[in-house]
Chain A
Amino acid sequence: DGGITQSPKYLFRKEGQNVTLSCEQNLNHDAMYWYRQDPGQGLRLIYYSQIVNDFQKGDIAEGYSVSREKKESFPLTVTSAQKNPTAFYLCASSIGGHSDTQYFGPGTRLTVL
């Protein structure tokens, strides 16, 4: 089955630790995205990548880093510099065109203790 997988579903970390969230897609999509959702807010873009080895900051990139070494994979690292890391994180991909539909993963809920 084609789709996007994110792991783990729930993640707990101590304050001050970096943590990496996984996102893999087998849809052969060029573009991939990371969003954050907080209660009462819309999805906010953290980073996006239109092509392998290239990525751009979104609206709230501070305290996050990404890599795009393979077309299928777009991991997100939440660093200790992110002041409020507890949130729900969604990964998405699209074929790559301007108006292409995004396909979403199931999300990872990160809780920093």
Chain B
Amino acid sequence: ILNVEQSPQSLHVQEGDSTNFTCSFPSSNFYALHWYRWETAKSPEALFVMTLNGDEKKKGRISATLNTKEGYSYLYIKGSQPEDSATYLCAFLTGGSYIPTFGRGTSLIVHP
């Protein structure tokens, strides 16, 4: 079983703060990394699919970077809003596997 770590486990910020968290994964045999957002009482929704070392993806105030050589991805949220409150999951795929290995998630709570 692959080791995919997310840190921090939880995060409380004030509205307007910018924040970031980390997903660490094995640096060998990388294929893809997915980020998902999971709001309470809803289904997880995809944010980004990242496949190339150095990838940077952006959706509104949320962006992500990827470093496959050192085995980590950062997710950034600029100017957090209460509606950003959710658990953010990363999922790592190795070469040749259809199956993502999920981290435990980072729970973000944005206080008004």
Do A and B bind?
Answer: yes
Complex partner residue of B43 from A40, A45, A100, A105, CB under 8 angstroms:
A105
Per the bound structure, the CA–CA distance linking A89 and B108 in Å amounts to 22
Interface SS of chain A? loop
Per the bound structure, the CA–CA distance linking A98 and B32 in Å amounts to 8
For this complex, into which size category does the number of interface residues on chain B fall? 20 to 34
- Do A104 and B43 have beta carbons less than 8 Å apart? yes
Interface residues of A in 34-58 (CB under 8 A from B): 35, 40-45, 48, 50, 58
How many residue pairs bridge A and B at CB < 8 Å? 57
Complex partner residue of B103 from A42, A50, A58, A59, CB under 8 angstroms:
A42
Residue among A33, A101, A104 with max Cβ neighbours from chain B (10 Å)? A101
- A45 contacts which chain B residues (CB < 8 A)? 99
- A106 contacts which chain B residues (CB < 8 A)? 42-43
- Do A98 and B31 have beta carbons less than 8 Å apart? yes
Interchain residue pairs A-B with the least CB separation, the first 6: A99-B32, A42-B102, A104-B43, A101-B46, A43-B102, A42-B104
